[in-house]
Structure 1
Amino acid sequence: MKKALSLLLALTMSLALASCASSETTTETTAPATTETTTAPATTEAVESELPDPATAAPIVVYLNDFDAVIGDAFYEATGYQVEVFVGNGAEIASRIEAEGDNPLWDVVWMDSMPSMYAMGENGQLLTNYEIENAANLTDYYAEIVPEDGRYYPTGAHSAGLLVYNTDVYTAETAPKTFDDLLNADAGYKVGMANPSVAAPAYPLVAWFMDEYRTDDSLDGGFEFFSTLLDNGMTIYPKNPQIVTALSSGEIDVAILQESNAYDMLNTGEPVALIWPEDGAPASVRVAGICAQSDNVAIAKLFIEFLLEAETQQMLVDLGDEGYFTPSVEGAYMNDQRAADNATLVYADTPWAAANEAEIKAWFADQAG
């Protein structure tokens, strides 16, 4: 495959270079100058018959959560195909897709919320049953995540919520050590978390708790857990960056915080400590899927192949906007800081989380006012 791919990329890059003087890149970000790729669809023959000339091909449109927008230029440099990236939070992407309805403008959606993507597949919005050769690169953990119909592919996962506390307020002995410790009203913890109806990774976080505390299919146990936290004075913020500000200012002293935000606080010298639960932290799995009505399916498939290359994922760990995640493919590795912290991840039952998403998000929207 590597030899066939080299020949393919030599062809596509020569075509792209011939057209560079008259065509402009439509991506929104800059990419590392030395980014390389080793990706291709199943056979060189299939590529040559399906892929259009990069010099005349329309850009693929990628709807992306607010992470790793560098991918647009990285893909262009590797293949010669242009990418238009729309970056937004989970609510913005969902609203945009809903507003477009039966006339979608996107080719690929790459989101931080696997339940939401699962539901899109149930609604017939995602292409299914297409071959992605690089799916063979997935680790066993991630291979199990891929639905039988291949509606999306995981590109990695990060913790949607670590326990983070202010070390000026608490010591290791007095700080909460588990999420259940937050239920203790007498401790006086001033807690903050993100709103799952706004922030994409906050729904997988909440879904894990709801799944953990449910009895059969009842949501009552999960709602009781969060109601207790709210009764204890927990604040719901729109997104994780607002939690960072509140924790830094002293408005809150404990947070359930998405991990890249947590590590950024730690690494910039903020007085915080991070706790990874021994049994694993609730995960937000990043998954990518293709629009069922896309007119650029061949290039969209190539984009998915690119995301499932070890070189691509390692680039995102090393240079991406949010490099704190566990890669999904063999040969790519999490950064040393996470490895030293014994980062492990757990996630909710995805079909169940997707089926209950609207009700759970509506409940949180009401609580947040």
Structure 2
Amino acid sequence: MRRGWWVCGIVGFVVLTATSMGALAGTADHEGQVVVYTAAQSTIVQAIGPMFEKKTGIKVQFVEAGTGEVLKRARAEKDNPLGDVFWALAAEPLAANADLLEPYTVTEDARINPIYKKGMAGGRVIPNNVTPMVIVYNKKLVSEAEAPKFWKALADPKWKDKIAYAAADKSGSSYTILATLLTVFGENDPGWKVVEDIMKNAKILPSSSRVPKGVADGEYHAGLTYEDAAMRQVAGGAPVGVIYPLDGTSIPPDGNALIKGAKHPKAARMFLDYAVSKEVMDLLAEKFSLRSARTDVNPPKGFVPLGEIKAVAYDMEWAGKNYAVLVKKWQDIIVRVK
């Protein structure tokens, strides 16, 4: 659920009120409301919010925006937090803002695959869904034989102005792709040269959601994006193909966290527990094509098994700690080549 960072800022508030009181509502010790900052797609917010309210009786107020805008807002509010929970944010920048987070271990932590807990701000960030980074291409514009099977193929000048990439300083998924490229090719001059050559060919977009849609609509031949966004286009009947790069890709988790100084901490912990419950993760896999960080949830129908994807050893802690440095280098490249 790695939504891009909207350039216009916060999308707005969606207030969902409980329509009935669930079994937990009569017995739970909580404040009765919770404010959730999220980068989840609006359709997911609209599905999960009422479910949580019905189950707990807790009113949920969502603030929807991209990862970067959410974190920017939370940092501005650090001395007087207005949010209680971060839900479905890109984990690397979330972990890089560990000083905004309060440690919390969800009740079903044992069901979360431990491989996704590494580099998560000392346990402050809770793995949510996991999302391989992919290449998407338009089948009407690019034949299967000509489709880029490797990240490095996108550095070929023949792709000039034909590929889409969301700005890495605005999109959580695009930052992950940037860090993935440097993991594959090295955080050195040759690695940055590959990044620069790809950026020379790319149209830089303001939000990650526009990448797969632009490819599906034929605006671009190919794009760098994340799996569930690409697969939603496939499910919708768009003429797109999805490639798991053969030179290796990352499979990072999204993250949830308790905001330090939250005004509704008890309700916030209940929301964090519910967000990674099997009930929610099964729904996200079945209805929204999202892989789960849990070990007991099946992958979405039609998805490539993770064992068939060439995964790189993606260092979440490194990606989080070096966020500002890597983004600055990327910005310098864009100034140079655009």
Shorter-chain TM-score: which interval?
Answer: 0.7 to 0.9
1:112 equivalenced with 2:77 (yes/no): no
Partner Cα distance (1:111, 1:348) in 2: 19
- What runs of 5+ residues in structure 1 fail to find an aligned partner? 1-25, 41-46
1:318 equivalenced with 2:290 (yes/no): no
Q: Give, in angstroms, the shift of residue 261 of structure 1.
A: 2.7
- What residue in structure 2 maps to residue 191 of structure 1? 163
Partner Cα distance (2:318, 2:238) in 1: 38
1:256 equivalenced with 2:224 (yes/no): yes
Q: Give, in angstroms, the shift of residue 275 of structure 1.
A: 1.2
Partner Cα distance (1:264, 1:131) in 2: 31
Q: Give, in angstroms, the shift of residue 272 of structure 1.
A: 1.8
Partner Cα distance (1:64, 1:222) in 2: 32
1:127 equivalenced with 2:92 (yes/no): no
Q: Give, in angstroms, the shift of residue 171 of structure 1.
A: 1.8
Indicate which of 188, 201, 222 corresponds to 2:173.
201
Partner Cα distance (2:93, 2:297) in 1: 26
Partner Cα distance (1:170, 1:249) in 2: 13
Q: Secondary structure at the match of 1:156?
A: strand
Residues 92, 189 of structure 1: alpha-carbon distance in 2 compared, 3 angstrom cutoff: closer
The number of residue pairs the alignment matches comes to 319
1:63 equivalenced with 2:34 (yes/no): no
Partner Cα distance (1:30, 1:334) in 2: 31
Which amino acid in structure 2 is aligned with residue 350 of structure 1?
M
- What runs of 5+ residues in structure 2 fail to find an aligned partner? 1-12
Q: Give, in angstroms, the shift of residue 27 of structure 1.
A: 5.6
TM-score by length of 1: 0.76
- What residue in structure 1 maps to residue 321 of structure 2? 355
Partner Cα distance (2:78, 2:255) in 1: 21
Q: 8 Å contact 1:166–1:272 — kept in the other structure?
A: yes
Report sequence identity in percent: 21
Which protein has the larger Cα radius of gyration, Structure 1 or Structure 2? 1
* Cα RMSD, aligned residues only: 3.2
1:226 equivalenced with 2:201 (yes/no): no
- What residue in structure 1 maps to residue 130 of structure 2? 157
What per-residue deviation string (whole Å, max 9, x for no partner) do you get for residues 214-233 of structure 1? 35xx5x444321211133x2
Indicate which of 298, 309, 332 corresponds to 1:333.
298
Partner Cα distance (1:310, 1:279) in 2: 33
What per-residue deviation string (whole Å, max 9, x for no partner) do you get for residues 312-334 of structure 1? 21122223xxx232211132222
Which amino acid in structure 2 is aligned with residue 318 of structure 1?
E
- What residue in structure 2 maps to residue 43 of structure 1? none
* Superposition map of 1:77-96 within 5 A: 77-96=54-73
1:74 equivalenced with 2:48 (yes/no): no
Q: Secondary structure at the match of 2:131?
A: strand
Partner Cα distance (1:187, 1:243) in 2: 15
Which amino acid in structure 2 is aligned with residue 77 of structure 1?
K
Q: 8 Å contact 1:283–1:347 — kept in the other structure?
A: no
Q: 8 Å contact 2:184–2:249 — kept in the other structure?
A: no
Q: Select between 149-158 and 268-277 the one with higher mean Cα deviation.
A: 268-277
Q: Secondary structure at the match of 2:123?
A: coil
Which amino acid in structure 2 is aligned with residue 225 of structure 1?
V
Q: Give, in angstroms, the shift of residue 265 of structure 1.
A: 2.3
Partner Cα distance (2:322, 2:291) in 1: 26
Partner Cα distance (2:60, 2:325) in 1: 35
Partner Cα distance (1:186, 1:146) in 2: 39
1:272 equivalenced with 2:240 (yes/no): yes
- What residue in structure 1 maps to residue 152 of structure 2? 180
Q: 8 Å contact 1:201–1:284 — kept in the other structure?
A: no
Q: 8 Å contact 2:17–2:59 — kept in the other structure?
A: no
What per-residue deviation string (whole Å, max 9, x for no partner) do you get for residues 4-48 of structure 1? xxxxxxxxxxxxxxxxxxxxxx964699x99x99x99xxxxxx97
Q: Give, in angstroms, the shift of residue 62 of structure 1.
A: 0.7
Which amino acid in structure 2 is aligned with residue 224 of structure 1?
K
Q: Give, in angstroms, the shift of residue 348 of structure 1.
A: 2.8
Residues 164, 208 of structure 1: alpha-carbon distance in 2 compared, 3 angstrom cutoff: same
Q: 8 Å contact 2:119–2:317 — kept in the other structure?
A: no
Q: Give, in angstroms, the shift of residue 249 of structure 1.
A: 4.4
Partner Cα distance (1:250, 1:213) in 2: 29
Q: 8 Å contact 2:14–2:63 — kept in the other structure?
A: no
TM-score by length of 2: 0.82
Q: Give, in angstroms, the shift of residue 288 of structure 1.
A: 0.7
Q: Select between 336-345 and 90-99 the one with higher mean Cα deviation.
A: 336-345
Q: Give, in angstroms, the shift of residue 260 of structure 1.
A: 2.7
- What residue in structure 2 maps to residue 6 of structure 1? none
Q: Give, in angstroms, the shift of residue 289 of structure 1.
A: 0.7
Q: 8 Å contact 2:292–2:299 — kept in the other structure?
A: yes
Q: 8 Å contact 1:137–1:308 — kept in the other structure?
A: no
Indicate which of 64, 78, 93 corresponds to 1:101.
78
Q: Secondary structure at the match of 1:351?
A: helix
